Structure formats: C-alpha cells, structure tokens
Amino acid sequence: MAAKTGADTLIGMKFASTWGTATTCIAGDKLPVESFSPSNNTTEVSANDIGDGNDMTSDSILGATNPTISLTHKMFYDGAGIEALAVLFGTAAVAVDGDGDKHTLTYNPDRASKYLTTAWENTTTDAAEMETGIPSSASIAATPNEYLRNTLEILGNDILIEPDETTVNDNASLASVTNADENRIVVRPDDGLWINSQSGGALSISDCEPFTDLTLNYNRGLEIVQEVQCASGNGLPRSTGEMPFMVDIPISFRSLDKADYLNAVKNGEEFKAQFTVTGPLIGGTTYYSATFYFPRLKIVADPDASKNNTGENPYSLTFKALVASANPTGMASTYPYVEIVNDKTTAYLL
C-alpha cells in the first residue's frame, strides 16, 4: 500500500525569498503538527445556459483558487514554527543574551520579502507543496502543564500535488528534514502573566496575574486578488480586514476574587502586560524562554462574571491590544512583539 499514517507523514517548512518559487526543505525544517489541513479551495465556473437545449449543465471548468493551510502545532523554542511567527510579524533581530541568543520579532507593516514553502507527503511515493505562503493569523493557546500550541492560518500562491504536478520537494528530499531544536515550549505553574497600568513602572513578578487559560490572537488579514497579470497563478496577497494588525487576548480566571477588571471597562483603564514561559537551561544562567509583550491593552466589552454554580464561579474577559503612543517602561515597541531566547545565532528572516 502507498498510504501513510499521519504519524509517519513528514512535513517541512522553510523560508522562500521569491513569491511563487518553492525552496527545498532540509535538516532543521521539520514541522511536527497536531492537525494539518491544506486546500486549494477551487471554485467552479459552469455553463448554465438558457437556450442551450439541455436540462443539465453542458460545461464546467476550474475557476479561481484560494490556497490555504490550517495547522496546529506544539511549539518549539526554535524551528519552522518560530520562522512562521517571524514571517507573520515581519521583522526579526537577534542579539547575544548571556549563553544564548535573544530573537526579537516586531511588527513591520511592509513585512520582509520572506515567505514560507510548506511541503508534505501524501503517500509513500507522492508529495505536495504550497510553493509560497504567508501566515494571516496565529492563535497561541496556553494552559498550565501543557505544551504551548499555535494554530496558524497560511495563504499561498498554489498547492502542487504529485504525480500530475512537479514539486521541488518530494518524498526523497523530505526524508532529510529534522527538527531544528528538540525543546518544546511547556507552560508550567511557575511561568507567568505580568500586568499593570499602561502608564505604570516596569513589569515585575509583583504584577503576576494567575489565570487558568489564555489565547494570544495575532491577525494580519490577507486576501488573494484575482488578476489578469500576464502570468499564471495567484499574485502576492494584499492586506484586508478591519485593521492591518489586530491582537486580542481572551483569558479565563479560576474565580471572581476582585472587581478591578469589571470596573476597568467603565473607567476606560489601560494596561500593559507580558507573558513569559521559561524552558531548560542553555548555559550559565541563561534559559530558553518565550516572552510575548503587549504595550497597551484595554477591556472594551464586559467580562463574563456569570454565576452558574453554587461554588466559586470562574470568569473570563478579553483584552484588546492597542498601539501605544510611546514605548512603555521596560518595553521595546509600541506594538505587540515577541522575544525568543534559544541557541540559534543567526536572525530569522535572513
């Protein structure tokens, strides 16, 4: 049989520099996932004519395509998943941090000219690939004593499928993919969300806000524009949506033990926050870590503080991220950004 199990299927993801031109996934480009859903999302153009003399459609052809990949993966401190996050944000820089390297991913309205080639095995003999794609959203979910999970939505130019189409990545080349790092990001009770007033001092552990679960939603809306462009395929997606960059944080708490956030909606209070997960020791006193920064947050809808049982009732709310007028104390941007400490010496997006 040519069928492969999901567990035995190899998936690779790698930077590509030219839209519409795939690159070969090699060692360090493996992307293990929990779920993976690719589709060209083809449309049909059919001839439903009056006066044709037939009671059934006489012709049907392929119309437009809108290639997408939706995937969820348990995050590593390095590798394809972090590369995808870098492409989503648009700018990446690196600096030595003790015995490790700190990678800072910041919002760039123009993005870097970097895309993602994603390739995978369909059978033991045939592979497929999205030649180039750009993430339009990332939803990073955190719960205690669990892996940090990221759900990515990627919009691309085309998905090629062997054997009828020729791919840059085939089963033989995908056999060489490996993980760039074996350290997965695991959320533990001693990790923390720090939050205080947007105009307050630098965040510290004294600002720790316990939670039961949260999701960091980053959205950069994209759409494929159907064009007659003197070339086949889909062109580079364009920005769309309510705003080019939107971020929110749904968060749940074990019980309603203070009314601060309930009053914050009426009072228009603003906050800043950072969420940090710390991993194994790299060397000396430097640890793997992932920190997500939010320079300006506001609660714009009433928290859910319903009483549904006779014991303590959990409650939830959603923070909306806003751009700050200046870098808050202790932060390096007016937009949400991410810092990853690992042992990769070169910057992402190079």
* Residue 121 clears pLDDT 80, i.e. is over it: yes
Task: Dump the DSSP string for 258-321.
Answer: --HHHHHHHHT-EEEEEEEEEEEEEETTEEEEEEEEEEEEEE-S--B----SSS---EEEEEEE
What pLDDT shows up at residue 220?
97
Per-residue pLDDT tens digits for 39-71? 999 998 998 889 888 889 988 988 899 999 999
| Mean pLDDT, range 205-223, rounded to an integer | 97
Per-residue pLDDT tens digits for 18-39? 999 999 999 999 999 999 999 9
Report the length, in residues, of the chain.
350
* Residue 1 clears pLDDT 70, i.e. is over it: no
* Residue 208 clears pLDDT 90, i.e. is over it: yes
* Residue 158 clears pLDDT 90, i.e. is over it: yes
| Mean pLDDT, range 153-174, rounded to an integer | 96
The candidate with the shortest Cα–Cα distance to 13, out of 70, 72, 84, 77, is 84
| Mean pLDDT, range 96-107, rounded to an integer | 98
What pLDDT shows up at residue 259?
83
For 20, the token pair is: 């519409």
Distance CA 295, CA 105 (A): 14
Tally Cβ neighbours within 10 Å of residue 276: 16
**pTM of the complete model:** 0.95
Amino acid at 24: T
* Residue 316 clears pLDDT 70, i.e. is over it: yes
Report domain extents, the chain.
11-44+62-342
* Residue 257 clears pLDDT 90, i.e. is over it: no
Look at residue 86 and give its three-state secondary structure. helix
Give the whole-number percent of the chain exceeding pLDDT 90.
87
Show the DSSP H helices in 132-188 as ranges: 171-174
Per-residue pLDDT tens digits for 264-310? 999 999 999 999 999 999 999 999 999 999 999 999 999 988 898 88
Q: Comparing 56 with 334, which gets the higher pLDDT?
A: 334
Average pLDDT, the chain: 95
